[in-house]
Amino acid sequence: MRRCRVLLAIAIGGALATAAVASAAQRTITVSGTGIVTSVPDQAQFSFGVATTASTARSAISANDAQMNAVIAALEKAGLRARDLQTAEISLTPNTNQGGTRIVSYSASNQVTATTASIARAGSIIDAAVGAGANLASGPTLTQSDQLQLERRALKAAVGDARARAEAVAQAAGVSLGAVQTVTEASSSTPVGGFAAAAAVPKATPVEAGTLQTEEDVTVTFAIS
């Protein structure tokens, strides 16, 4: 009987110790932190294309091919390499009369994505494409070549911001901040600018690099005592 009582006491003592640990683990502060890193973009991506219309599908495609080849040649002459150009979309669409009962013509389009590592040359690239016959244009998408490093810097700043917030909360609550329990990455974003195609002018079409903001958000849980 004495042995059973000892075992029961040990079991109860262990359960109480586990409950105490669980209770302590529940004493936490959870905060959100934001880190923003500002950088100057060093890459620009555009989409250039050609849209043509003709009475037959073959003639629409043939006219489009000739014009698009001229655009690609002009982009290469402007300094872009083959690896900087990628076909994005090719389409052929029949056009019908108002009643939709008869095909009256065909529209063909071909678009290529062009990427330049020199934003200073972006304006001349736009002018080269438009001058060679591109009648579709969009962009730029401005990016930083070292985006991964920027994201890591923003994450580090976000965790630092979360710690500062948690310390302020702990001080106000009269408790001490402990070790980090969990960290969750919430989101990241990179705002970009826009471009509207314009007629060719004596000077190159202006493209301003401006700045980008890489933002990272985290949620951090700290132990408190």
User: Number of folded domains in the chain?
Assistant: 2
Q: Would you give the DSSP letter of residue 117?
A: S
CA-based end-to-end distance of the chain: 41
Pairing of strands 28-39, 85-96: unpaired
Question: Residues with Cβ < 8 Å from 181, sequence gap 6 or more?
Answer: 28, 221, 222, 223
Compute the distance between CA of residue 132 and CA of residue 135 in angstroms, rounded to an integer: 9
pLDDT value, residue 221? 95
**CA 153 to each of CA 101, 167, 190, 216: distance values in angstroms, whole numbers, following the listed order:** 60, 21, 14, 9
Task: Look up the CATH number of the domain holding residue 117.
Answer: 3.30.70.2970
| 12, part of any domain | no
Both 120 and 34 in a single domain?
no
Both 32 and 57 in a single domain?
no
**Mean pLDDT, range 9-26, rounded to an integer:** 47
Both 123 and 94 in a single domain?
yes
Both 31 and 56 in a single domain?
no
Name the region of 107 (left: φ>0; alpha: ψ -120 to 50; beta: rest). beta
Half-sphere exposure of 216 (CA within 13 A, CB side): 24
| 86, part of any domain | yes
Both 56 and 135 in a single domain?
yes
| 10, part of any domain | no
| 187, part of any domain | yes
Is the pLDDT score of 85 beyond 90? yes
Instruction: Give the structural domain span for 178.
Output: 27-40+146-224
Is the pLDDT score of 199 beyond 90? no
Tens of pLDDT, residues 201-221: 346 788 888 888 999 999 999
pLDDT value, residue 37? 93
Both 53 and 123 in a single domain?
yes
Confidence of residue 18 (pLDDT cuts 50, 70, 90): very low
pLDDT value, residue 211? 87
Tens of pLDDT, residues 103-119: 999 999 999 999 999 89
Is the pLDDT score of 139 beyond 50? yes
Both 197 and 133 in a single domain?
no
Both 67 and 106 in a single domain?
yes
